[in-house]
Amino acid sequence: MRKSLSAKFNFLKATLILLLFFGSKINAQNQADSENTVISYDLKWSERTALSILNEYPNAWQLDGNDRPKWDYKMGFVLSGFEKLYQKTNDKKYQKYIKDYVDGMIDSTGNIKKYDIKEYNIDYLNPGKLLFNLYDETKDSRYLQIIGKLRNQLESQPRTPSGGFWHKQIYPNQMWIDGLYMAEPFYTQFTVKYEKGKSLDDIAKQFEIVQNHFVDKKTGLVYQAWDESKEIAWADKQTGTSPTIWGRGIGWYMVALVETLDYFPKSHPKYKVLVSYLEQISKSVNQYKSESGLWYQVADKPELYANYVEPSASGMIIYAFAKGANKGYLSSSYKTTAKKSFESFVKEFVKVDKKGEINILNVSSNVGLGGKPFRDGTNNYYLSSKTKENGAIGLGAFLLAAIELEK
């Protein structure tokens, strides 16, 4: 009798444990499902994209498949879209996503983790743009300290003989076109906000150097890089430019112009000059879009074998066209072009999964010049770089374009 009662007790005990175990798993799954809810098709593309990013990358440092936290220009680019979306919607979760990233990358004394000014990496300035609004909203002194430290980097950043910022310490006498985006919007906002605009001439000079040395005379498009010394192996011995006109490079330059103009005073003599640069590159790039209104990886050679339309380049150019027209820098016809190209972007690159999450297809991987192993910057180098789904620059470009077009 005792054995029978004991056996029944043990059976009930085991059953209870199993119920508790499976119940906890079901609760955990339900919680996970609630955190990654299906995204409504009724929302705008901009919010659907932002929510997809939040679901896929709970921490912004995970963007682009990163496996550890990093102060990185790609995060700065995507989060600049979140900042604009927060300003439009006043939805606190977008601001929290930015703040969580920044707070995870700085310490209690106002230092960026693993930041070394001696690298003179101009990419480090881009995430610094996020700190202006964070400081204005929170008055956390750490944000202001970091803004100042990044400004100090520019003060001692090495320059070419013509006065252009080196891209990094390890790339002597080289300006890269994406460096204009990394530095100038931050630099302009800082000098207008805290220096009474004393550095505006220097900012305009960076763009002037691009116009004088990066612009291809035949196409009006810009090369990715320029070595003033003409010593690096990829540099043309006559012009110093790199070999390829890269679609995303054009995008970086156009976004640099429209976002610098956000803060550049209209009363300054160089304001109209910067607008003319935007008009020039916009007119040129508009002639090199595909039949559907998108732009190629190697921008000036659509007929090149293995060339392809590329989402990060296309999204950036769409964003710059729309913003330029909205701000009055460009004619309204560019807004019309941007809308048509945006529709083509959605058809070509956007895949929506069963949860309603946005995925951007065929984003070019990150490319560069020089280094070890040596990157020669040829057309073939750009065309042989792997593409991937949801590359951070592709996501960010689509988000910015959708916000600007109110899509």
Q: Which residues are catalytic?
A: 178
Strands 174-176 and 363-364: unpaired
Rg from Cα positions in the chain = 24
Backbone angles phi, psi at 376, to 5 degrees: -85, -10
Give the span between the Cα atoms of 215 and 166, in whole angstroms.
18
- DSSP string over 218-245: TT--B-SEEETT--STTS-TTT-B-S--
Give the span between the Cα atoms of 214 and 227, in whole angstroms.
10
Tokens encoding 87: 């300003």
State the virtual CA torsion across 93, 97, 98, 101 in degrees, nearest 10.
160
Alpha carbon 289 to its chain's center = 21
How big is the chain, counted in residues? Answer: 407
Omega of the bond leading into 69 within 30 degrees of 0 (cis) = no
Other C-beta atoms lying within 10 Å of the C-beta of residue 115 = 16
3-state helix, strand, coil in the chain (%, to 5): 60, 5, 35
Backbone angles phi, psi at 227, to 5 degrees: -110, 110
Whole-Å CA distances, 294 to 233, 288, 306: 32, 9, 16
Tokens encoding 66: 């990163």
Name the residue type at position 267: S
Other C-beta atoms lying within 10 Å of the C-beta of residue 264 = 24
Tokens encoding 2: 């005792």
Residue at token pair 């080196």: 166
